Structure 1
Amino acid sequence: MTRNALIVRGGWAGHHPVEATDLFVPFLQAQGFDIAIEASPDVYADAERMAATDLIVQSVTMSEISTEALRGLRSAVEAGTGLAGWHGGIADSYRSSSDYLHLVGGQFATHPSRDPGETVGDESDNYLAHDIELTALGRTHEIMQGVDDFTLVTEQYWVLHDDLIDVLATTTHPVQPYHPWHRPIVSPVVWTREWGAGRVFVATPGHSLDVLAEPNVRTIIERGMLWAARTR
């Protein structure tokens, strides 16, 4: 059975939205998806097209979304269209829209940096070695089957979130003498969310192409997209 996937990509170029989404096109095609690609979230306002879309893969960091497009996105997901993405392309999109945050359930807040005495002034200042730890739910969830705890050296997302998300993996931000917080903070790394008849999948790793190619990360994202896609 052929299904329709819509890739929406753009926003901040530092997350390589074109190259990052291109990594997953062959996988989706092999899974039987016809793929369309758009460079703007304005497509979400097209109700007829959204009704025919089984999966949205969004990679739009920051940027803005119109009232009509956001209404269309929320309506589509509520009606059964899946929404999936990674890193800032879904967890740091449309910062001015609380209704978007309400849909996704988690929002990037920061990625703590290294000791100021060790920084060099480029993006590597925010690359920290950190553990990704599966939750009890994650150890039984189809997305995470065969995946165990693992370590990444990349941005460690601090996420503000609500209790309606189902967290499959977490990471812990430690207390450091150069940071203002006073106890370790646990943030979700992989989560799902059911919204009406639709499903939302989010993975926070994915700042760079090498992270997306890491076997655990790639497996989680591939399975997450399939989980989120509409089933008929």
Structure 2
Amino acid sequence: MSVSKNALVVRGGWDGHQPVEATDLFIPYLRASGYDVRIEDSPKIYADADYLAGVDLIMQCMTMSTIEPAELAGLRAAVEAGTGLAGWHGGIADSYRNSSDYLHLIGGQFACHPGRHPDERTGEQSDNYVPYTVTMSAAASAHPITIGIPDFPLVTEQYWVLCDSYVDVLATTTQQVRAWDPWTRPVVSPAIWTRQWGQGRIFVTTAGHRVDILQNSNVKAIIERGLLWASR
């Protein structure tokens, strides 16, 4: 008799990333993959150690917002003990800016998304949409998250990420130097990475600003695979 797994979806924060609509894209996939899914709209649940001990996967979409010390301690302890943590874009790589310990856990932090020429900006989110390529690393061809997926283009926010060397990079993106930019050489940032934390696995992709990007066939496949890969 098969035993179902438990997935926790934590969603909220900045509405511009459509946390409800975005996570709703993947909840049916989790259920079809054998997960019982619980949905919470804040990180308060992370302080419930007894509950988290039985969670196999956390899918987080919580841009910015804040996290309390007991909540963060619970999240870190759960991941160390084997709970998987997965997410995309600002929902995981721009969460809880007040917590250096959270940034340490994730391994990469959104710094900015350089946008269009100032003369082309209108004050809309699209000011930050630029064409770029998600470039697969050498490790990507054999990794279950990215196997069979080639380099692919997107037109959306391109994350400049600050990271450490304890991330396993599956894909990168390169910020080019444009006439109006203050940097003087191209900057390579991870676009897909994983991280082993104790017994737990962490998966992050920086693509996924809004639902239309999450529906891109490559992005969607990478996230679906990443969720299962990260799970206990």
1:50-129 equivalences under 5 Å are 50-129=52-131
Equivalent pairs, count: 230
User: In 2, distance between residues paired with 1:196 and 1:46?
Assistant: 19
Q: 2:213 aligns with which of 197, 211, 214?
A: 211
Q: Any idea what the Cα deviations from partners look like across 1:88-123, whole Å, max 9, x if unmatched?
A: 000000001000000000000000011112222211
User: In 1, distance between residues paired with 2:207 and 2:11?
Assistant: 17
SS of 1:143's equivalent in the other structure is: coil
The one-letter amino acid of 1:158's match is: W
TM-score (norm 2): 0.98
Q: 2:50 aligns with which of 43, 48, 51?
A: 48
In the TM superposition, residue 18 of structure 1 has moved relative to its aligned partner by 0.5
Q: 1:157 aligns with which of 156, 159, 170?
A: 159
In the TM superposition, residue 65 of structure 1 has moved relative to its aligned partner by 0.3
TM-score (norm 1): 0.98
Give the equivalent residue in structure 2 for 1:196: 198
User: In 1, distance between residues paired with 2:142 and 2:56?
Assistant: 25
SS of 2:182's equivalent in the other structure is: coil
Give the equivalent residue in structure 2 for 1:186: 188
Verify: 1:139 aligned to 2:141, yes or no: yes
User: In 1, distance between residues paired with 2:34 and 2:25?
Assistant: 16
Q: Any idea what the Cα deviations from partners look like across 1:5-37, whole Å, max 9, x if unmatched?
A: 000001111111011000001100110000000
Give the equivalent residue in structure 1 for 2:18: 16
Q: Any idea what the Cα deviations from partners look like across 1:51-74, whole Å, max 9, x if unmatched?
A: 000000000000000000000000
Segments of 5+ residues of structure 2 without an aligned counterpart are: none
Give the equivalent residue in structure 2 for 1:31: 33
SS of 1:52's equivalent in the other structure is: coil
Segments of 5+ residues of structure 1 without an aligned counterpart are: none
Q: Among all aligned residue pairs of Structure 1 and Structure 2, give the percentage whose two residues are the same amino acid.
A: 62
Give the equivalent residue in structure 1 for 2:227: 225
User: In 1, distance between residues paired with 2:137 and 2:63?
Assistant: 27
